[in-house]
Structure 1
């Protein structure tokens, strides 16, 4: 990936992250409006889950069409560490700040555009509900799990994106429920940064340790486990090509 390609990808990362946080922070309000409009009187959770799935399907499709921009820093880190992308450490260091900036802009925009009566439905984003190190272990473990699932589904499972996304979303929702009493959870450092920038309630150590360092380490660990079990996709492809030539 050349210098211009890196900058283009970083810009696209920022744009995708902006719209991701703008839209996902509005899902609660959207579910409420749908509930009122349809006169639905049951639990609102299925509506929220359906909206989450639709949003993920749309974003995955846009990412595919645009060449792979991300809205979660752990995604390119996972595929880089697994040996399944053209990223380098340098490109990742350029892309991650772009995602964080886009996420912060998205949350701020959503808050400013949301009508006052609906703002409580936006929530307040991830928040640490335990001590620092318990939260770090929880966030790291949850991010390890979701990225191991993502790597397996995308690289070893079905190639159909419209089947991949529901599987990943379902697993992510289960993990969110499990992590609710610990960190929120985020499993997305840029998303956590966006909310922290808005709320200004998160300490620097909390942001760095719980919502950045821990999930990124969990992501790398997931990639290492994947490579240990299935091998690097790049190495596997090279070995297959060499065997074919022989």
Structure 2
């Protein structure tokens, strides 16, 4: 896949991802209510992890179908820096990041327009900090570092089964986002949900 075409596919996939992520909270709440457990309980957390894993697996498969497209800039640069994305180049990275950012903005704007009123509480007015800007930036950087570290560990040392890999990443990501909840609003790190790349069998 050419650099320009790859960047365009990344932008579309990122738009779809950012549009879909708020639905994770909606689906988790619906399943928790159906099962009869509190959304913020241990059982509710387990439901959230499994819904997140399903989302991540779905988008990983879509990305693989489009020749290795990515919906997360952090994933893209992490894999490129570690040498796990040999088909990528510095030029393709420079093209992908702005397009992914634009796709994320479009997805965020779209979901605010179509989210049903009864579930708008999930959006909470968008990402916001509960602390000062510098503390929030440090907390977000630390969370991103550990999420990327978890991605590397699962890819290099984790199980070979892709479903189990995705589930382990969902556990790590949801746990880290909850750990950072004291400093950050509930939505601010949701864009960092990552999934292991699935190699295209045609390659």
Q: Give the corresponding residue for 1:25.
A: 22
TM-score normalised by structure 1 residue count: 0.68
Equivalences for residues 78-227 of structure 1 within 5 A: 78-85=78-85, 86-184=87-185, 186-187=188-189, 191=191
Q: Which of 41, 50, 56 is the matching residue for 2:36?
A: 41
Select the structure that is richer in helix. Answer: 1
Question: Partners of 1:104 and 1:128 in 2: how far apart?
Answer: 18
Gaps of 5+ in 2: 193-203
Q: Give the corresponding residue for 1:239.
A: none
Gaps of 5+ in 1: 193-246
In the TM superposition, residue 88 of structure 1 has moved relative to its aligned partner by 2.3
In the TM superposition, residue 49 of structure 1 has moved relative to its aligned partner by 2.9
Moved more, 23-32 or 158-167: 23-32
CA-atom RMSD, angstroms? 2.2
In the TM superposition, residue 28 of structure 1 has moved relative to its aligned partner by 2.5
In the TM superposition, residue 125 of structure 1 has moved relative to its aligned partner by 4.0
Question: Partners of 1:100 and 1:168 in 2: how far apart?
Answer: 23
In the TM superposition, residue 187 of structure 1 has moved relative to its aligned partner by 4.5
In the TM superposition, residue 34 of structure 1 has moved relative to its aligned partner by 4.1
Q: Give the corresponding residue for 2:52.
A: 52
Q: How many pairs were matched up?
A: 185
In the TM superposition, residue 91 of structure 1 has moved relative to its aligned partner by 1.2
Question: Partners of 2:51 and 2:25 in 1: how far apart?
Answer: 9
Structure showing greater Rg: 1
Question: Partners of 1:34 and 1:102 in 2: how far apart?
Answer: 29
Change (3 A) 1:121 1:144: closer
